[in-house]
C-alpha cells in the first residue's frame, strides 16, 4: 500500500518529469531545497504523505503558534508532490524534510506515483560541501542511470568508488531506476565554510535543470539574495586575516573547475559531518 495519498482529480499531464529534493543531508547551504522551493512556486499539491508515518517529531518538531496565551495552530512537517506547468510541460516536485523512517517503503511509493502519473524521468537535486571558494562560479556535477541522459557539457562523476552515508533521496532515485525510469541527478558544490543558506548553489542547480529540460524557471528573489550573500561573505573575509588567507589557498587550488574525485568528496563529507576540516578548522562565514 502506497504511503502517498494521490488526489482523485489529477489532470492530464504534459510530458511530466519528477524532480526531488529533501532538506537535511546532501542539501549543503540549503541549495537543493531552495531550488525545489523556487521550482514549486505556485504549484498545486497533487499528492501528500502522512507525516506520522515518516517523521520523528522529537527530532523535527512541528511548529506551534501561541497567540495571546492561546494555542492556535500547528505547522506539521510535510512531504508532498506539487505540479507546475512551465513552458508547456508539467514539472512534478517531490520535496520536504528528509524522512526519519520507512525509507524503502517511501521510495517504492514514490516510484508507484511516478509510474501512475506517467513521469518520463526522475531528477534529483542535491548540494554537497566542498573545498571550493565562494568567489568562483558554482560547479555542478551529474549522475545518470544510463549513457546519453546528461548533456555533453555536464561532467558525470565522481570517477571510481565513492562510499558515503546514504541520503533518503538516493534511496528514492535507486527505486526509480529499478522501476525502469531514466534517472539523473545534479549536485552543486557549496563552499564548506559557508554557515548559512547559499543562494548561488540554488541558482546553479536551477540553471542546470533549465538546460536539461529546456525550460526557464524564474529566479524570483534568489538573484538578489545571492548578491547580498556574496557581499556579506566578501566583507567577512576582508575583516578576518585568517579567513582571507584560507580563501586565497582555496582559490589557488581551484585552477580549473570539474568533478572532484571520490576521495576528495568523501573527505569533505566526512569533515562536514564531523564539523571539522582535517585538523584545521576552516572559518565559518554567514
**Separation between Cα atoms, residue 169 and residue 98, nearest integer Å:** 8
What pLDDT, on a 0 to 100 scale, did the predictor assign at position 274?
A: 52
Distance in angstroms (rounded) separating the CA atoms of residues 147 and 150: 7
What are the Cα distances from residue 207, in Å, to 20, 34, 91, 127, 184? 16, 13, 15, 14, 15
Q: Residue 99: its pLDDT value, please?
A: 96
What is d(CA 94, CA 23) in angstroms, rounded to the nearest whole number? 11
* pLDDT computed for residue 120 by the predictor: 97
What pLDDT score does 255 carry? 53
Q: What is the distance between the alpha carbons of residues 188 and 128, in angstroms, rounded to a whole number?
A: 6
Q: List the Cα angle 251/244/236 in 5-degree steps.
A: 115
User: What pTM value is reported for the model?
Assistant: 0.87
pLDDT at residue 198 in the model: 95
pLDDT of residue 66: 98
Q: What is the pLDDT of residue 155?
A: 87
Cell of residue 163, nine digits: 562510499
**Three-state DSSP state, 279:** coil
Domains in the chain (CATH in brackets) are 4-274 (3.40.50.10900)
Burial of 51 (0-12, 13-18, 19+ CB in 10 A): middle
In the chain, the DSSP E strands lie at: 4-6, 17-23, 44-49, 63-67, 70-75, 80-86, 89-97, 122-130, 140-144, 183-191
List 81's β-bridge partners, or say none: 47, 94
pLDDT in tens, the chain (286 residues): 579 999 999 989 999 999 999 998 899 999 999 999 999 999 999 999 999 999 999 999 999 999 999 999 999 999 999 999 999 999 999 999 999 999 999 999 999 999 999 999 999 999 999 989 999 999 999 999 999 999 988 988 777 877 888 999 999 999 999 999 999 999 999 998 888 899 999 999 999 999 999 999 999 999 999 999 999 999 988 888 888 888 888 888 765 445 555 455 555 555 545 554 444 555 666 6
Query: What cell numbers appear for 111 in the block?
Result: 516510484
Bridge partners, residue 27, by sequence: 127
pLDDT score of 278: 46
Q: What sign results for the dihedral spanned by CA atoms 222, 228, 201, 213?
A: positive
Amino acid at each position: 500500500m502506497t504511503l502517498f495519498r494521490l488526489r482523485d482529480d489529477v489532470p492530464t499531464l504534459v510530458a511530466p518529469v519528477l524532480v526531488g529534493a529533501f532538506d537535511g543531508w546532501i542539501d549543503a547551504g540549503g541549495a537543493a531545497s531552495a531550488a525545489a522551493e523556487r521550482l514549486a512556486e505556485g504549484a498545486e499539491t497533487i499528492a501528500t504523505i502522512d507525516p506520522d508515518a515518516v517523521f520523528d517529531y522529537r527530532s523535527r518538531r512541528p511548529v506551534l503558534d501561541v497567540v495571546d496565551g492561546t494555542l492556535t495552530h500547528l505547522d506539521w512537517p510535510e512531504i508532498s508532490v506539487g505540479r507546475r506547468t512551465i513552458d508547456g510541460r508539467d514539472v512534478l516536485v517531490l520535496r520536504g524534510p528528509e524522512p526519519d523512517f520507512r525509507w524503502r517503503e517511501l521510495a517504492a511509493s514514490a516510484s508507484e506515483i511516478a509510474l501512475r502519473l506517467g513521469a518520463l524521468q526522475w531528477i534529483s537535486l542535491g548540494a554537497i560541501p566542498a573545498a571550493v571558494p565562494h568567489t568562483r562560479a558554482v560547479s555542478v556535477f551529474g549522475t545518470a542511470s544510463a549513457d546519453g541522459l546528461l548533456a555533453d557539457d555536464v561532467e558525470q562523476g565522481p570517477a571510481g568508488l565513492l562510499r558515503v552515508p546514504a541520503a533518503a533521496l538516493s534511496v528514492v532515485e535507486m527505486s526509480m531506476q529499478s522501476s525502469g525510469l531514466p534517472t539523473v541527478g545534479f549536485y552543486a558544490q557549496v563552499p564548506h565554510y559557508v554557515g548559512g543558506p547559499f543562494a548561488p548553489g540554488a541558482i546553479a542547480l536551477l540553471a542546470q535543470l533549465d538546460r536539461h529540460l529546456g525550460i526557464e524557471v524564474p529566479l524570483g528573489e534568489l538573484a538578489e539574495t545571492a548578491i547580498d550573500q556574496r557581499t556579506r561573505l566578501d566583507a567577512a573575509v576582508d575583516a578576518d586575516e585568517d579567513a582571507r588567507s584560507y580563501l586565497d589557498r582555496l582559490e589557488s587550488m581551484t585552477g580549473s573547475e570539474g568533478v572532484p574525485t571520490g576521495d576528495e568528496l568523501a573527505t569533505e563529507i566526512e569533515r562536514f559531518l564531523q564539523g571539522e576540516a582535517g585538523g584545521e578548522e576552516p572559518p565559518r562565514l554567514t
